[in-house]
Amino acid sequence: MSRFYPDLPRAGVSVLCHRDGHALLIKRGKPPYKDHWSLPGGLIELGETLREAAMRELLEETGVTAALDLPVETFDSIQRDDDGTVATHFILTVFCGAYVSGTPLAADDAAALDWVRPEDLADRQTTPGTPERILRLLGTARA
């Protein structure tokens, strides 16, 4: 099924990996939201658990691993054309965990990556809700 103009919502994951009060962000290399800063993540593959998908996507896009436990939230990401047609619809489950290992390197769908302090999020073009999500989750997940 296509990511664009789908017949059904697509299930995906997103990961807030943090270290020393910084969040690991990727610059999206593909639509939707190309060139926007976002949490690493992607679609769940058939037979994969949510946690397995989160671990895989984090590693594929950034080269790092994090201590991920249970999901911390789930949200809808729906984009519509000017005429109201649903262009994309993702249901994203978010994991939050401290950095464990790996050398950060943008790969796969990520055009770039950076460790960002929450107070510097306003200076970045981000995907909708990303700054608020990071501020909320890092408020209780300092490592």
Residue 139: pLDDT band (50, 70, 90) is confident
Q: Which residues contact 53 (CB under 8 A, 6 or more apart)?
A: 12, 13, 42, 43, 44, 45
Does some domain include residue 143?
Answer: no
Q: Among residues of the chain, what percentage have pLDDT more than 90? A: 90
Read off the tokens for 40.
Answer: 């690493």
Of 24, 36, 35, 41, whose CA–CA distance to 115 is shortest? 24
How many domains is the chain built from?
A: 1
pLDDT above 90: residue 98: yes
Does some domain include residue 91?
Answer: yes
pLDDT above 60: residue 11: yes
Residue 143: pLDDT band (50, 70, 90) is very low
Asked if residue 2 lies in contact with residue 90, where contact means CB atoms within 8 angstroms, the answer is no
Does some domain include residue 67?
Answer: yes
Q: Mean pLDDT over residues 16-34, rounded?
A: 95
Check the CA dihedral 111-12-97-72 and report its sign.
positive
Does some domain include residue 74?
Answer: yes
pLDDT above 90: residue 12: yes
Residue 109: pLDDT band (50, 70, 90) is confident
Does some domain include residue 75?
Answer: yes
CATH number of the domain residue 99 falls in: 3.90.79.10
What's the domain range around 43? 10-138
pLDDT in tens, 38-59: 999 999 999 999 999 999 999 9
**pTM, two decimal places:** 0.92
Does some domain include residue 47?
Answer: yes
